[in-house]
Structure 1
Amino acid sequence: MSSESNNLPPFVRDKHVNFIIEQESNRSYEYWLSEHLRMNGLYWGTTTLLTMKQLNDQTLPQNKVIEYVMSCWDSESGAFGSFPNHDAHILSTLSALQILKYYNYDLSPLTIDQKQKIVKFIKSLQLRNGSFQGDKFGEIDTRFTYTAISALSLLDELTKEITGPATKFILDCYNFDGGFGLVPGSESHAAQVFVCVGALAIMDELSRLDDLKISNWLSERQVLPSGGFNGRPEKLPDVCYSWWVLSSLSILGKKNWVDLDKLEKFILTCQDFEIGGISDRPDNQTDIYHTCFGIAGLSLIDFEKYKFDEIDPIYCMPKRITKDFKKWKS
């Protein structure tokens, strides 16, 4: 064990649990401005609690969570919005499915008809070049391709008809430096690397990649001496990249290419030791997003040390839930 490991800030588990529970009671002006992120925020909160083995009826009661998720059903589109009466979007639909999986592995809150409508909604978003739109308004991003592939995998509805064109689109977004952009020709970014590598992993197409080149680009994201990762060259480190970078390296079998002790210390230093939560950098404002991905990063580093659930680097869900997910149908 390195000296870095022997000189770590404490992990304030109970305060993080309280921080997440109290998010819903904080009805500030900013709360109402973030309606478009509410389903994603609920996914971040449930994932954090589940990873810490703290998701139960005292923290986030099942009946209230499922009631909220189902209140976001958009009957016109046949999928989920992020807030009641919001249009359906691929991002909020995946988050809704993940949350329902946490409480009901068989997605039983959904009827067969609703599941079929979700599948139809997702498939309708795929374009001829293999990419996916986020919704009916047409924005394209490799995030949406990963999200669609992940959601169809959760629903056991992933087919070669979908994965063939999607794989081609993702490979078209691969850059000379070893990273991926949001569309072909876009700048490489660590979050886009995750969604592209993750989608290819689900589709069993990782062999199409030069994993050494990608891993080199990813390992260069560690900003020393802080130990944190950045998303692009010459940028500041940010806790969320503890997930986006380390998950990608984990999928590629190269997690040991970075200094995990320094990364662990960076994450722990970004905690608010008084009220809980994790921020992007030390002494900044905490939020549920960075709390989720900071704790997911700690699970990737050493889930046993923290008595966490082991996180799946492909799905950002505990492995005990994803272990039976199927990749695709022939």
Structure 2
Amino acid sequence: MTGSSCTGGGQVPSLRPALSRDVRAQAQRAGCNGCANMGTPQKDVIIKNDAPATLFLEKHADYIAAYGTKKDDYEYCMSEYLRMSGVYWGLTVMDLMGQLHRMSKEEILEFIKSCQHECGGISASIGHDPHLLYTLSAVQILTLYDSLQVVDVNKIVEYVKKLQKEDGSFAGDKWGNFKIMFIIQFIFLKSRIKKDILHNLA
């Protein structure tokens, strides 16, 4: 097997044999002679030629409607840290498929209410810290259900105000971590909450 020297003086196997001739040729034409050795294209799912070409909306809706009914499922437990956004994604898909009525509105609204903290921010799940991202997801869910009155909107506004930095940008939480997406999330929040105080920001 062909090898190449690494910094530690050992040998690492070349990945060139694993790549197709076409892939290597494309990389070389692009002026990247070393690119062809960087890795192997991954294809973890093979779709058979006789696979159905129809999108089974009912099966998708059944899956989403049933997701979360088994609270002890491994996947459900491990996704708790992004639960609020997951609920939003699921509800949006169900709404697009005309199946929103299958979701438990009362249970979802109660969940959101229980995730609002004294500071006004909303967390991904009960017992987690509030964050701008999950506050946005919660507000999006509430506007989908036309139920903003479930939470204290004034406190949300105050929470968002405190996350704004001197340069106009926004932190995601009280620890001040910054990503450009937090500004985008603020814009979405601003479009959902019609409050003068929010319109005076940014």
Question: 1:1-330 alignment to 2 at 5 Å?
Answer: 9-26=53-70, 27-56=72-101, 59-75=102-118, 77-104=119-146, 107-110=148-151, 114-157=152-195, 158-159=198-199, 161-163=200-202
Q: Distance in 1 between matches of 2:201 and 2:146?
A: 26
SS of residue matched to 1:74: coil
SS in 2 for 1:84: coil
Deviation at 1:16, TM superposition (A): 0.6
| Counterpart Cα distance in 2 of 1:101 and 1:82 | 17
Q: Is the 8 A contact 1:119 1:152 kept in 2?
A: no
- Distance in 1, matches of 2:106 and 2:155, equals 23
Residue type of the alignment partner of 2:84: M
Structure-2 separation of matches of 1:123 and 1:36: 24
TM-score, normalised to structure 1, is 0.43
Higher relative contact order (CA 8 A, sep 6+): 1
On the 8 A contact 1:74/1:85 being kept in 2, the answer is no
How far 1:9 sits from its partner (Å)? Answer: 1.6
Where 2:201 maps in the other structure, the secondary structure is: helix
Q: Deviations over 1:73-117 (max 9, x none)?
A: 112x21211111211110110111111111125x1223xxx2111
In structure 1, the residue matched to 2:34 is none
Partners of 2:146 and 2:140 in 1: CA distance: 10
Per the TM alignment, residue 65 of structure 1 is displaced from its structure 2 partner at its CA by 1.1
User: What RMSD in Å do the two structures reach over aligned CA positions?
Assistant: 1.6
Q: Which amino acid aligns with 1:53?
A: G
CA shift, 1:61, in A, is: 1.7
Which residue identity does 1:83 align to in structure 2? Answer: S
Deviation at 1:30, TM superposition (A): 3.1
Instruction: Please list the CA deviations of residues 262-285 of structure 1 after superposition, one character each: whole Å capped at 9, or x if unmatched.
Output: xxxxxxxxxxxxxxxxxxxxxxxx
d(CA) in 2 for partners of 1:93, 1:39: 8
TM-score with structure 2 setting the length = 0.69
Q: Which runs of 5+ in 1 are unaligned?
A: 1-7, 164-330
| Aligned residue-pair number | 148
Highest CA radius of gyration, 1 or 2? 2
3-state secondary structure, aligned to 1:108:
helix
Q: Deviations over 1:292-317 (max 9, x none)?
A: xxxxxxxxxxxxxxxxxxxxxxxxxx
Partner secondary structure for residue 80 of structure 1: coil
